Each structure stands twice: as structure tokens, then as C-alpha cells.
Structure 1
Amino acid sequence: MMSDPVQHIPPEIINFFRENVGEILLVKGPPGSGKTMFSLECMKSLCREKRGITIFPRMDADQLNSEYSWLMDDRADHNLLPFHGNTKMADPNWFKREFEYLNSKGEGKIGFMLFDPINAITEQYENPERKMKEIVSLVQSSNVSAIVVQEKEDTTYLDHLAGGVVRLYFNEREGRRFRALRFEKLRGVEVKNSNYLFTLHSGFFRAFHPWSVDTVRKGDWVPIEDSETHFSTGLEDLDRILGGGFKRGSYNILDVDDNILSSEYLLLLRPVLLNFLHHDQGVIMITPAGEHPESIRNDLGTYIDIERISDKLYFLDYFTATSRKEYIIPMSSTTRREGAQQKGMEVIQRLRGRENKPYLDFVGLDTLEYLIGESLTLRRLLTGVSQSKVTKTLGIGLAKPGLKIGQGIRNMSDVYIRMVKIHSIPCFFGVKPETSLYAILPSERDGFPNLELVPLT
């Protein structure tokens, strides 16, 4: 289920045309950056009550029907009238005559126009700049706003005529390409975000708005069944990306960038924790630095009955000598000598039971490295990797910036996921297996904490 298409373009665009009737938005960018898809998505969103004209002088009917069949379909739910290249466009009076005819038909006033690209129209005339100014004058005098796509990336007279200039561009993050747009000028509009990450996945433009857990629509947690060979990640999209989820008996690393907050790395950890607990499979955790067992337990209890997980979720707390909570196992240097390690093993045996059920062993690697040092942490992880493979359970480690054991854990992991933030949007990509970039978003269908992972194509 797709959301309101207005939500797929930056709100600054809507505000720009709302505040400036008869204004021009200039769209620039290199070939293939998505200028046409962006412009069409804007036109769909803007032309709810008024009609819009889209002019593609370099495309014929077959091309338009092939690339944008929805636009050529008379039954489609939009108010856009497509025009494609024809010999009539060379007539200096064609545009004005056609515009006046459409406005007089009584089917609703023309409110918006799209020229893609504008230079394909103006270059047919002896004085392209003069023709461009004539078109702008007609648009503005008729209280019609226009989106103008320009193929040239350098500054032209159009940059000065237009009240808004948007540039689409390519960029890379650790060898993975993504698309973004930047507002270079938006007259009379407060620009809250000057850059937006976007995708052209599934053949449509979709910009990603900064979001937070506190402001999104909530829904019920939707569990996913494990398979005979894999544990589900708790996310349908991530299961598909990884070829079924996390393999039984595997050790997996989530490596987070230095600008990733705990609330953001929990986006990918929370689903697998919830899925294990939902299926009555235990979880034992060494929390990352800065996290407290109670905060994680309370967070999970928001989405699953806390009583149901009371005997399934345990924490090994290396900073605590005593605890009245049965689910917190004190592991400080003092208590280790008094048999805390043995108690930890007893908890694992309890979680496995007579059926030898699998469990999830989660480790905040920064905590472990701080407490026992680089070499002992690697030794502890190698033991954990071996145990996971023998017992067919699941190991997950969280790696934060500054870890000295970074290369070592990459080599020993079965899956290595890297989490980054681009223009305020949490994203990730696979190092093992190698994948492209994905944006992490709340599920439009099921609501948070369910997520959708959108390819940045």
C-alpha cells in the first residue's frame, strides 16, 4: 500500500507553489539522475484540483507509453494532459494557441505546466532566450505555475528567471551510489532540509523525509516464522536481502557509523529480538555502552507482553556486583569469583531446556573490549562463533566506531552489515554479503515497529 503521493516529494516543493502562484521551478541535474520522474511526481501531487499540462518535445507517443504508461492512460487517476513531440511545436504560436484552447474547454483551469526539457522547445527558434521569456511571460500572466527541466547544468538566464532551483545529483557512500536533491533557491519558503535522499525504485520518485520513532504511526508487531535453515531477522525485506535471514549457527555483525544513535541501531536489532522472544526462544545480552538492561527490556515490552518474556530475556551486566532482578546477572570482577560465570551458563541451559532450543547471544562489543581488552575479546568471540555453529543458535555482535578488533570481527562473521546515515535517513548496506544501499523506513502498511527497507536505486 502506497502512502499519499504528496508524502513522496519534499514539503518545501508544495509550500513553494502554495506561496508563489505563477512561479517557475527549475530542475537541473546530470543525465539519469531522475529529473523527469521527480517532475512528474511533483505534478501528480500538485494537480489534485487543477489540471496540469506535461510537454515532452523529445518523446513520441510510443516512448511515453513505454516509459510512463500511467500518464498516457485516460482511465488513470490523475489530472495531467500529456503532449509529446510533433511538428506543430515548431509553430511559434502553437503553445499559446493550445494553452488558450485547453483553458476554454470548461474542464477546469490549467494550474501547472511541465516542460521537459525546455531547451528542446526553445532551440527550435532563432532566438531561444527570447522564446523562453515569452513562455515564462505567458505562464506568469495566466497565474499558472511551471516546472521547467533543463539539460544544461551550468548557470543560464533560467536560473535568474525561476523563483526556485532544484538540483538532482549522484553521490557515493563507501563505494555505494545513491541519489539526492538539493535546493539551491526557493523564494519565500523556509527550507527545513536543504538536501533529500531519494530513490527511483519501482519506476517512481520517492524522497525520504527525516523521521523519528515518536512521530510515526504505530502498529502491532508482526512476527515472522523461522525456516529450517534460517532464523528470521524479523523483517521480511531483510530476510529477502540475506537469502532467508540469519543462518542457523551463524555469527553476525552490525557495524554502526559514528553518527548512528542507539534509537537508530535498535531499528535493525529490535525486530530479531522480538521475533526470537515471540517464538519462545531465549535471548541473552551484554548491552552496548550507554544502554541499560531496563531500557531495552521496557522497549521490547512495548511491543510484546512483558510477562511472556520475563523468563526468556536475560542480561549479563559487567558493571553490576549485585542485582535483585532475576533477569540481570551481575558479572563484575568481584562476582565472577563467586560463580557468576556458572550462573550465566545455568541461564543458557534453562533457555535451551530439554528440547535444546536455540537462543540468541547478543554482545555489545564495545563493552566487552573495554572490560577485557582486544585479545581476550577476540578469543571470547571465537568461542561464541564456535558455540553458535555447534549448537545451531544465533550470535549477533554490535560494533561501534573505535573498536580495535574491527578487522578481526569482519573476518569471523557470516553476515556483516554496515549502518550509516545519509541526509538524516538511517541506511545500511551489506559487506558480507555485498549489497547496495537501503533506506530504513517505518512500514506504511503495518506501522512501526515494522519496517520497510527501500533500495536506493
Structure 2
Amino acid sequence: MKMIKSIPTEIRQFLEKEGGSSLFLEGTAGTGKTTLGLQIIEIIGEPDKSFYLSTRVSDQALYNQFPWLEDKEMRAQVMDASKMFLQTIYEEEGEEESSELPESEKQKIESAQEFLSTVREAGPPEEVDRTRLKSLDKKIPGLERTYDRIDKVLPERPLLVIDSIEGITHKYDIDMEEFVTTIQKDLVENSNTNVIMILEAKSRPDLEYLVDGVVQMARYQIENRDVRETRLRKLRAIEIQQPAYLMSLKGGRFKCFEPYELEVMGEREWEPVEAEDGKYSSGTEDLDELLNGGFGAGSYNVFEVKENVSNEEFFSMIRPMFLNFMAQDRGVLAVLTGGTHPENLRRGLTRFIPEETFDKKFRIVEYLQSHSDKPYIMALGGKKGDQFRKSYKEGMESLRGPENKPIIDYVGLDTLEYLQGGEIAVKRLLENVAKTKNTDDVGIGILKPGLNISREIKNMADNYFVIDSINKTPCIYGIKPKTGLYAITTDEEKGTPYIEFKSIV
């Protein structure tokens, strides 16, 4: 499944279902309403059937804000329509009126049309309904021509984006409810038109009952980092499976993120990701960039995992680290976090590396197990003193090999604290971190919520990252070094299990 989409699945389904539909895009300034509206025209609309009605002062204002509209195809699809509307909205009063037919001829035509409508089969309307438009107290320059344009598209389904309702109704001093009702009745219900109406407000419950769908665009902060969200409040006749989506507006484009899923088509072997001298790649190029080239030799790196992060979301981040080390004939020593079963871990990783590589290069420390016939289990339960040191030394020698290669020393800090208690765990951790810093190894600590060890580990870490889940999308941001917020997604080019980071801006 593609994790990054240009339009949420439910909105696409809503606009592609039979008949006309109306949709409010609500949100304060800068939340992405116009970007999404224009992108819906690009993705769903057809060039000669889509129109963008705006109160902006010039086409150039749109080009400046959305450089991707300079694309030739989008010029033809959106900007020509926009330009026509803008010229109409801002044209001088007193434009020469087109000649009208005599009243007697109008009556004959209307009578003939009424008769034909009673004998033809029911189907999409072939002409635009103007009933409500004619009843408006004031004329809106450009709106009548909008109706004319839609009339030429019928019986095919047109798409109209109005940006914004406040701008148009304020300019012409028309009641908003009356305007929305006019659009809903004339164009949506009676003229088979999809209409997207942009509102410059967080929500308008007094108007929402008039339309078929309501989508809210929001922006808030986590740890002083911007988070953008698209909330699906109402989409008539559509099942909303994902009520809110994490989104980004990088490059003036709307992108939303589907929930993370691990999907593998067939078997594939991990291809190592290289790093510069003196560094070890994390297996994720974007993380390497945040780490100034990769994990440093002798560094201790902490990943704080928030309570709402699922095991699969968390492991999507850790999996490449393990795979990349083993694929380069380096070992991993692991004290697993609570809830991680050794067999499940092995099964998940050997989808991308040979089983013999895992058995040779991975050691899972089991403090409660005294014996195991599995080569990847280092059973230390019940062993003390010389016996403990001997078993540990033998395990490490087999893991490092004759060349004494560096390893990842991976510790689930919740397991450490559970087995040894808070004070002893802190002491043992200090010893391990100091030991790591005097080697070429890479220390990785996984910090779960509610641990007494939290404060000490933050101070000891060379690098400190937080993994969070926002609307079922795993995200990461750095405390040391300080970074922005990124969505963790499947690498679009390489596919699973490679991941990449997408900046939330």
C-alpha cells in the first residue's frame, strides 16, 4: 500500500461517487485549504470540466504561492479557468450586456423545455439550474458566467472550487447561508456538480448542515514542532476508516500519510547502506543525514518510544539498523524490550537476510533462561561469577568473530529496569555506556514511558530521538541533535523494509 497520498482515500471516494456532492474545507489561514482544493482539481478534475473561482487579486499570487502550478498542464486546467473568473470578478461595472430574446420567445422555449423534460428518460441534467441564482437579492459578477461554463459541461459532471466563501460573500454583501444554499440547490443537487467550498474559519457548525461533507484542516505543535492534520468530520455515504490524517505541505504540495503497514511482495535480501569512514550507517539514509553521516563509533544513542506507538511502527525504525549491521558481517547483541518475542524477531528479520546470517550475527540475551539450543540465544539465567563471565565472553567472541568487529549493543531499558530495579539499573547502565564509549561499538537504548532511568539516560546520550505515532503514522524528531518533525514512511523507490523521512511543514 502506498503510504503517501495526494488526496485522502475517503475524499476521493466521496467526489467520485454518483451525483453531485458539496464539500466544506474549513481551517484558519495557512492550514492548507487552497493547496488541497487545487490538488483535487489536478488529480480528480478533468481539464475542460474543472473551475476555480477565487477572490485573489491576480493569477501571479497563485503562481508565487504554488510554483507547481507553472506546469503547462495545470495552467490549462486551473489557471485559465481562474483567470476567467478573476477577470470577471474584478471587471468594471457597466459591461455591455448581451442582447436578450423577446419575452414571448423566452416563454415558447421554456414551454418546449418543460415538455421535453416530461418525456425523456431520467438521467443527469443537461442544463444548469438557476432557480436560486435568480432569487438572489444581488448579482455576483462572475457567478452567472460560472453557471454558463457549468452548463456547457453538462450532462458530464463538472468540478468547481470556490476560494473562499467569506471572500465572495463579504465583497458583495451577501448572506453566507443564502449563498451556500444557492450553490447547494442549483449546482450540487440539481446540476450534478461537485463543489468544494473553502472557508476561512476553524469550523462553521451553523452552515455545515447545508452541505454533504466537511473536512477540517488544522495545525498544532508537539515539542515546538509543527504538526498538520486533515480531519474528516462528515462525508455523506462514505465510510470514514481514518478520521484524521497527518499531512505536509512541503513544496506547496498537499501530502497525507496512510497508516503504516509492512507489506512485502515476495522475498528480497537487504542491500547494505554504506557510510563514510568512522561512521556506521543506520540503514536509513535520512537518519544518517540527521546524525551527520551515521552513528559514530563509541556513541550511545537513545530512542524514546511514546506510549501510543505500536510494535510494528517502532520496529519499522529499528529493523534497518539490525539488517544493515548484519548484512555487513557485523553483529548485534540485544536485550529485547518487553513484549518482543525472540522467535517473532527472527522471523521478521529473516525475510530480508538469510537465516544462517541471523543465527551467526545476532545474540539475544536471556537473563531468565539457563539453557537454549538456539544459536542466537545467549542464555545467562542462573549463572553467576566466573560461569556468567565465561558464557558471556564465549557469546561475544562468536558474535565479533576473529577480527573483533564492532557490534550494536542494543538494550530495552524497560527490561533492564524490570530485572535489576531502578538504582541498580542506573548503575549498570552507566557502566555499559562508559564501556561503549571506549570501544568502536554502537550503543542503542530504547526508552519506554514511565521508567525511573529516564532522566539519567537523557544526560548520557550522544544522540536522543523521540518516536511518536500521529494518526497511525510513525514519526520521529530529534532532541539531540534538535530537528523538525518527520513522518516515517516506506521508501517509495526501494520499498519495504527500507524507510525514509518526510518533513512535516
Distance 1:34 1:286 in 2: 44
- Contact 1:217 1:448 survives alignment (8 Å): no
- Contact 1:270 1:300 survives alignment (8 Å): yes
- Contact 1:47 1:78 survives alignment (8 Å): no
- Contact 2:180 2:210 survives alignment (8 Å): no
- CA apart distance, 1:109: 4.7
Distance 1:307 1:111 in 2: 60
- CA apart distance, 1:331: 1.1
Distance 1:29 1:285 in 2: 47
Partner of 1:444: 492
Distance 2:203 2:446 in 1: 45
- CA apart distance, 1:49: 8.2
- The alignment's C-alpha RMSD in Å is 2.8
- CA apart distance, 1:305: 1.3
Give me the TM-score of the superposition, normalised by structure 2: 0.82
Partner of 1:28: 26
Distance 2:422 2:496 in 1: 37
Distance 1:50 1:12 in 2: 24
Q: Secondary structure at the match of 1:310?
A: helix
> Among the aligned pairs, what percent are the same residue?
32
Bigger drift between 136-145 and 239-248 goes to 136-145
Unpaired segments ≥5 residues, structure 1: none
Distance 1:167 1:36 in 2: 12
1:9-158 map, 5 Å: 9-19=7-17, 21-47=19-45, 51-76=49-74, 79-80=77-78, 81-84=80-83, 86=86, 88-89=88-89, 92=140, 94-101=142-149, 104=152, 109=156, 111-129=158-176, 130-140=178-188, 141-153=190-202, 155=204, 158=207
- CA apart distance, 1:322: 0.9
- CA apart distance, 1:414: 0.8
Distance 1:218 1:326 in 2: 24
Change (3 A) 1:241 1:345: same
- Contact 2:260 2:474 survives alignment (8 Å): no
Distance 2:275 2:71 in 1: 43
- CA apart distance, 1:291: 2.0
Change (3 A) 1:242 1:206: same
- Max radius of gyration: which structure? 2
* Residue identity in the other structure for 2:332: V
Change (3 A) 1:209 1:102: same
* Residue identity in the other structure for 2:497: P
Distance 1:339 1:31 in 2: 67
| Matching of residue 266 in structure 1 with residue 315 in structure 2 | yes
- Contact 1:113 1:147 survives alignment (8 Å): yes
* Residue identity in the other structure for 1:294: E
- CA apart distance, 1:395: 0.7
* Residue identity in the other structure for 2:417: E
* Residue identity in the other structure for 2:410: F
Unpaired segments ≥5 residues, structure 2: 94-139
| Matching of residue 383 in structure 1 with residue 381 in structure 2 | no
Distance 1:442 1:219 in 2: 15
> Greater helix percent: which structure?
2
Distance 1:184 1:326 in 2: 53
1:236-275 map, 5 Å: 236-275=285-324
* Residue identity in the other structure for 2:82: F
* Residue identity in the other structure for 2:485: L
1:235-314 map, 5 Å: 235-314=284-363
Change (3 A) 1:78 1:126: closer
* Residue identity in the other structure for 1:314: R
Partner of 1:417: 465
- Contact 1:71 1:82 survives alignment (8 Å): no
Partner of 2:481: 433
Distance 1:204 1:105 in 2: 28
Q: How many pairs are equivalent?
A: 453
Q: Secondary structure at the match of 1:417?
A: strand
Bigger drift between 432-441 and 43-52 goes to 43-52
- Contact 1:416 1:430 survives alignment (8 Å): yes
Residue 202 (structure 1) aligned to one of 251, 260, 280: 251
- CA apart distance, 1:48: 5.0
Distance 1:227 1:337 in 2: 40
Residue 370 (structure 1) aligned to one of 415, 418, 436: 418
Deviations 1:140-179 (A, max 9, x none): 2321111110113452764232111111111233433201
Deviations 1:205-226 (A, max 9, x none): 1111123225889865342113
